[in-house]
């Protein structure tokens, strides 16, 4: 199973539903989502370019396979990147996004940080 399939399987039932609720509550306004909803004890969000570019940081690795000790290779972080892409594709099927891994705990960072860029679509 590739990282994309693994990511979808991991987030499709529970995590996706949480993000759908957040998306609905903030009426799809990513600027508000990344400044208000995505700032808590587990992760932080930041708007880099309003309507276009965002940063999402997890304060600890949230991957169940890493947390259980099954995986420790930094390549596993691609699964997290794919899960973010999948969630975004479900929230806005008519939009296109890029997600880049900025840094991760498995790569020696103090947190897992992803840069999200809206390429095209809804705004």
Question: Domains in the chain: how many in total?
Answer: 1
Q: Mean of the pLDDT values across residues 6-15?
A: 91
Least confident of 15-19, 58-62, 64-68, 88-92: 64-68
Torsion from C-alpha of 2, 121, 23, 67, nearest 10 degrees: 20
Domain hosting residue 9, numbered range: 3-120
Phi/psi at 64 (5° precision):
-60, -35
SS (HEC) of the chain = CCHHHHHHHHHCCCHHHHHHHHHHHCCCCHHHHHHHHCECCCEEEEEEECCCEEEEEECCCCCHHHHCCCCCCHHHHHHHHHHHHHHHHHHCCCCEEEEEEEECHHHCCCCEEEEEEEEECCC
pLDDT bucket at 123, cuts 50 / 70 / 90: low
**In the block, residue with structure tokens 């991991």:** 10
pLDDT bucket at 122, cuts 50 / 70 / 90: low
Comparing 49 with 106, the larger pLDDT belongs to 49
Give how far the C-alpha of residue 61 lies from the chain's centroid of Cα atoms, to the nearest Å. 12
Q: Mean of the pLDDT values across residues 107-118?
A: 94
**pLDDT tens for residues 34-54?**
999 998 888 899 999 999 999
Q: Mean of the pLDDT values across residues 21-32?
A: 96
We report the CATH number of the domain holding residue 99 as 3.30.1380
Torsion from C-alpha of 49, 106, 81, 117, nearest 10 degrees: 10
């Amino acid at each position: 199973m590739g990282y994309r399939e693994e990511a979808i399987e991991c987030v499709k039932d529970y995590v996706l539903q949480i993000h759908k609720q957040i998306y609905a509550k903030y009426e799809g306004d990513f600027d508000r989502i990344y400044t208000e909803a995505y700032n808590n004890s587990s992760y932080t969000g930041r708007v880099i370019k309003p309507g276009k570019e965002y940063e999402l940081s997890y304060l600890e690795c949230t991957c169940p396979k890493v947390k259980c000790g099954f995986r420790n290779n930094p390549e596993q972080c691609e699964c997290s990147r794919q899960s973010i892409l999948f969630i975004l594709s479900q929230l806005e099927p008519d939009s296109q996004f890029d997600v880049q891994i900025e840094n991760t705990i498995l790569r020696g960072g103090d947190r897992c940080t992803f840069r999200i860029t809206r390429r095209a679509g809804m705004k």
